[in-house]
Chain A
Amino acid sequence: QLQLQESGPGLVKPSETLSLSCTVSGDSFSSTIYHWGWIRQPPGKGLEWIGSIHCTGTTYYNPSLKSRVTISVDTSKNQFSLQLNSVTAADTAVYYCARQATSSSSRYFDYWGQGTLVTVSS
């Protein structure tokens, strides 16, 4: 059973950088038919896709966040990471990592981490 686990600080100061990692257990991390994504959800609100990365390092970002986001991958550790710069209170959210099937016939998020709440506050 594939498992994803987010980790990182739960509190970040305004203007600083939010850094999270997602560790994947299972055997699909280096498979070319998957991307690995970050999605966030502000308290009481809906889902927002942040960006996705392929095991080759190819990235896709939400244009609304692109200037502040970096997603990277470390296949040796079965991990991918999120960095969000210059955070404000508006970046307070539960951050999820998820596996994104991207084969020629399947495109969806099928496995999700439990999520981690990141609060931006001084």
Chain B
Amino acid sequence: DIVLTQTPLSSPVTLGQPASISCTSSQSLVHSDGNTYLSWLQQKPGQPPRLIIYKISNRFSGVPDRFSGSGAGTDFTLKISKVEAEDVGVYYCMQAKQWPLTFGGGTKVEIK
């Protein structure tokens, strides 16, 4: 199974400041079709997860452009350029390169 390790576990951020979350995979997430199926989900308290980024850097429909994804191979990053109060929650990376699908352990973004 592919193991995804997220850091940090928690990220206290001042409103308007940037936040960055890392996701490291135990093996390359490059599929034989050339795509890298790494996505990011946001989960606000009491809500189901919501897709925000897919294939490393593509923002899903309706996601603000302050969210961006980058990376390649085994190392990926989610960045929030200027954190807003509504961004509070837990963020998960997920790989869909191969079965079984796996998630990172989650990173909690909170306001200082």
Q: Which residues of A contact B (CB under 8 A)?
A: 37, 46-49, 52, 60-64, 96, 98, 100, 102, 104-110, 112-115
Whole-angstrom distance between the Cβ of A23 and the nearest chain B Cβ:
15
Do A109 and B41 touch (CB < 8 A)? yes
Q: Which residues of the other chain, A, contact B92 by a CB distance below 8 angstroms?
A: 46-47
Answer yes or no: B101 CB below 8 A from chain A CBs.
yes
From known contacts A105-B35, A107-B37, infer whether A49 and B100 are also in contact, taking CB-CB under 8 Å: yes
Q: Which residues of B contact A114 (CB under 8 A)?
A: 48
Asked whether A46 and B105 contact (CB < 8 A) given A108-B39, A110-B51, A112-B48, the answer is yes
Quick one: which of A49, A64, A104 contacts B33, CB cutoff 8 A?
A104
B103: contacting residue among A49, A63, A98, A112, CB under 8 A: A49
Task: Decide if B49 touches A47 in the complex (CB within 8 Å).
Answer: yes
B94 proximal to A (CB < 8 A): yes
Which B residues between 57 and 83 are near A, CB-CB below 8 angstroms? 60
Could you say which of A61, A104, A108 contacts B96, with CB atoms under 8 Å apart? A108
Nearest CB on B from A39, distance (A): 8
CB contact list, B21-67 vs A, under 8 A: 33, 35, 37, 39, 41, 48-51, 54-55, 60
Cβ–Cβ contact B100 & A63, under 8 A = yes
Contacts of A64 in B (CB 8 A): 100
B86 at the interface (CB under 8 A from A): no
Query: Hey, which chain A residues are within 8 Å of B54, CB to CB?
Result: 106-108, 110
- Determine whether the beta carbon of B106 is less than 8 Å from that of A106: no
**Contact of A109 with B106 at beta-carbon distance under 8 Å, contacts A52-B101, A60-B99, A62-B100 already known:** no
Nearest-CB distance from A61 to chain B (Å)?
Answer: 8
Q: When chains A and B are docked, how far (Å) is the Cα of A100 from the Cα of B41?
A: 13
A112 touches B100 (CB 8 A): no
